[in-house]
Amino acid sequence: MSQQGTVRLGADLSPEMQPIGEMVALCYQCGTCSGACPVVAAGGMDYTPRAIMRLLQAGMEEEVLSSQTIWTCASCYHCVVRCPRDIEITDVMTRLRNVALRKGYKARKGKVYNEGFMDIVRAHGRVWEAELVVRYNLLTNPLNFLKLAPVGLTMVRKGKLRFLPDHPQGRAEVRGIFDRLEGGVR
């Protein structure tokens, strides 16, 4: 879908944001997405999804890429199934996170979590939850370990925590996928 023919609301998006702008060109601001969003209901977004759509149409990418919303989206697709314009809002949020990471927007928690998660998959071929938790909290808020201790103990008691990672034999193949993907992973 091209943005041609839609009302021009403001500045043009930068080249890497253009495809994302095209994804939201059809939005007519009904707000169904924001009504469906459980994160909005929990007070977890600074801009509602509807507002993000409008900001993109207006070319205000600075606001969008530095928003809290793109990082608190739970990727639950509730907005997508209800959108009368069939906009892939969840994919828009994911693409925005990707651009924000590449452009170096400040998103400490999101960066540490998402890149850390994939570093672990790259290293082991599978996720190792224990490493993820330790790594994330060490790099964001080590004091959190105190708070996590009771839950950690419950998990150990219930045998829900692996002390060693799983190592599929093909983990070199998995690493190869990361290395060979176009443009690399970072």
* Contact call for residues 161 and 129 (beta carbons, < 8 A): yes
Q: Which two tokens stand for residue 173?
A: 């193949």
Residue 16 found at the interface with other proteins (CB under 8 A):
no
| Residue 131 binds to other proteins (criterion: CB under 8 A) | no
Q: Which CB sits closer to other proteins, 51 or 120?
A: 120
* Alpha carbon distance 89, 29 (integer Å): 13
How many CA atoms lie less than 13 Å away from 172 in the CB half-sphere? Answer: 1
Please report how close the Cβ of residue 54 comes to other proteins at its closest, in angstroms: 23
Q: Which of 161, 39, 141, 137 is nearest to 90 (CA)?
A: 39
72 backbone dihedrals φ, ψ, rounded to 5° = -95, -10
Question: Under rule CB under 8 A, which residues in 95-114 are in contact with other proteins?
Answer: 95, 97-98, 101, 109-110, 113-114
Q: Which residue number, 54 or 126, has a Cβ lying nearer to other proteins?
A: 126
Among the listed residues 71, 63, 139, 131, the one whose alpha carbon sits nearest the alpha carbon of residue 101: 71
Instruction: Give the separation between CA 86 and CA 37, rounded to whole angstroms.
Output: 16
Give 10 or 168: the residue with its C-beta nearer to other proteins. 168
Number of residues near other proteins (by CB under 8 A): 62
* Nearest distance in Å: CB 151, other proteins: 7
Binding footprint of other proteins on the chain (CB under 8 A): 38-39, 41-44, 71-78, 80-82, 90, 94-95, 97-98, 101, 109-110, 113-115, 117-118, 121, 125-127, 129, 132-133, 136, 151, 154-155, 158-162, 166, 168-171, 173-174, 176-178, 180-183, 185-186
